Structure 1
């Protein structure tokens, strides 16, 4: 028995692999639900109804999808260039803190000026937070998985320090949070009487921009070349340093933008629990999308639907809420196995 690479992958093979992965995922999820003692079919029905059964449910799914698109894009564009950014969570909080610092009254401007300015600030803060690990990897060969991951915990401590110290809102009745952003910095709603805001359109626009850059630009070609064959890329004159730095600025900026839209669109302020793990989930979304920027959108939507629907399932049948995290994590392993079988075959 030996494993050999497939020369081509037909459309039928890819479609069959995707369907098989979905079947395996549903089977594993059903097994997890059954272990809790809940009725399997009724639980799945509650999950689907909780995610898509009403206008409010759909709006909640789309609201949760917004930051997941941006963190998924942040990981996808970094991984494509072999920059293993596991620190989107920390970069998200960096962008959120930048918005809280500048948008709570420090800058006086109308919404049409203030909102783009704060988004740019959030983007820049996330970029800066990833730039250090990228430079360490490029010039000192420091493992970027370790540095980006550990910086998440560093940022967590920084957030705790600021929300309980210099940036603490004196009117928060002792609750550790920053001062709220001014009304001019709040993102408009897309649907009345829901939490869905125009940050979703921003995320979709960035997914389209990322797709065009990857497929249609010289920079996208250089990034793919540097990621697939770094030594060959250097021989053709591609600057690995330039590609690495620009990729870090782009990837970290997208994660920082996720934090900015969460503050401006939902919370209005920063707390230690602003993100329930959006940055880490972005890694899974990027892998489910196979690093395709456009595929990040449906991947993020599907993951958001699982999270929102699992809450309804938990309320209906007392299924533990964290089962959604387990199912999303298992989906990554199923997709990785499917990708391997699509790229290779076992031959006698």
Structure 2
């Protein structure tokens, strides 16, 4: 009798969904240990998280508002990782997309909202996309590791933003605070409900997930992306232009992260500052992994991550437990997904030893 690992030809969708759900549950179960060590009840803590995230219309709207950029950065990571292009630079692409929106939407042109909003979205998409195209090109031309280049670009972009909001873009009416000039009224995203912060960016994120799902599953480009991600050599042998496909993926990935930045300035703050994002770009990687790189799954994974962060703030005020509990839940959920990914690639096969028969 023995056990052996057997590679899976293709993991069924039901198994992928089960692994993602179990990963979130495992994260919550593991976090119960430090909660108990702090002398608190895990059930009470989790109940307060749920109440803080979904207990009222205001709480639910804040959860959706927090999920909006996570949907887009999660999609950015998902489409890139599917092609084995490791985009770790969504944070910087978010900021550069926000910068493009502010440059265009703070008075460079004056148009009605029906025209102004699409223009700043296009500007943000192109800015973020081009920022990702550069590392993809450097990888193809010089063999530069895109993990390193995209990660370092994050810090470069944020320092560049700090310089601009302290310099040429600084708002003279901000009483010395380091923030950019505001967007004109026509460039602001419309609110989905009065007196709540939910905005048009949520519709953009859900629409982007649907479009990306159709693109990946139903289009020629989607087939090329999947083929390149599975085996570049085989894809190239089959006649797919691998380098061109990777540049297209880079443009889409960076563009989606850039749209997240547009949403934060046009839908939430109204201006650009160096603290625009608390790490939406990095959290997007967690969202993509929890979703199994599924565009539709990224919407639900973003909602889960947003609910944990929003609910943890409310739980912390009620119990005194640090809100960093949310980071622990998300981190442990990610680790659980990585473990679950092993079982998506392999299955355990139990074999009985054959009995030897005596020869004549």
The question of whether the paired residues in 1 share the 8 Å contact of 2:23 and 2:337 is answered with yes
Report the alpha carbon displacement of residue 36 of structure 1 after superposing the two structures with TM: 2.9
The equivalent of 1:185 in structure 2 is 187
Question: Is 2:199 the partner of 1:220?
Answer: no
Q: Equivalent residue for 1:50?
A: 52
Q: Decide which of 3, 6, 30 is 1:4's aligned counterpart.
A: 6
Distance 1:13 1:239, change over 3 A: closer
Q: Separation in 1 of the partners of 2:48 and 2:5?
A: 42
Shift of 1:81: 0.9
Q: Name 1:93's counterpart in structure 2.
A: 95
Counterpart in the other structure of 2:85? 83
Q: Deviations over 1:98-118 (max 9, x none)?
A: 111111111111111101000
Computed over aligned residues only, the root mean square deviation of the Cα atoms, in angstroms, reads 1.6
Distance 1:293 1:17, change over 3 A: closer
Contact 1:72/1:283 (<8 A) preserved: yes
Residues 318 and 79 of structure 1, relative CA distance in 2, 3 Å threshold:
same
CA 1:19 to 1:149, structure 2 compared with 1: closer, same or farther past 3 Å? Answer: closer
Distance in 1 between the 2:132 and 2:82 partners? Answer: 16
Task: After superposition, give the CA deviation of every residue in 1:172-191 in whole Å (9 maximum; x if it has no partner).
Answer: 11100000101111111101
- Say whether 1:197 aligns with 2:207: no
Residues 1:290 and 2:292 are matched in the alignment: yes
Residue 70 of structure 1: aligned partner: 72
Q: Tell me: CA distance 1:317–1:23, structure 2 relative to 1, closer, same or farther (3 Å).
A: same
> Is the 2:138–2:144 contact (alpha carbons within 8 Å) kept by the matching residues of 1?
yes
Report the equivalent of 1:173: 175
CA distance 1:76–1:11, shift in 2 (3 Å): closer
| Alignment: residue pair count | 348
Q: Distance in 1 between matches of 2:134 and 2:20?
A: 38
Q: Deviations over 1:199-236 (max 9, x none)?
A: 10011111000000000000000111011110011111
Structure 2 counterpart of 1:136, from 135, 138, 154: 138
The answer to whether the 8 Å contact 1:138/1:244 transfers is no
Describe the superposition over 1:312-340 as per-residue Cα deviations: whole angstroms up to 9, x where unpaired.
Answer: 00110011111111211111110111121
Q: Structure 1 residues 145, 112: closer, same or farther in 2, change over 3 A?
A: same
CA contact (8 A) 1:125 1:253 kept: yes
User: 1:334 matched to which residue of 2?
Assistant: 336
Q: Report deviation, 1:18.
A: 4.7
1:280 to 279, 282, 285: 282
Report the alpha carbon displacement of residue 10 of structure 1 after superposing the two structures with TM: 5.9
What are the Cα deviations for residues 42-91 of structure 1, in whole angstroms up to 9, with x where unaligned?
A: 11111110001000000001111110000000000111111100000000
The aligned residue for residue 358 of structure 2 is none
Which position in structure 2 is the counterpart of 1:115?
117
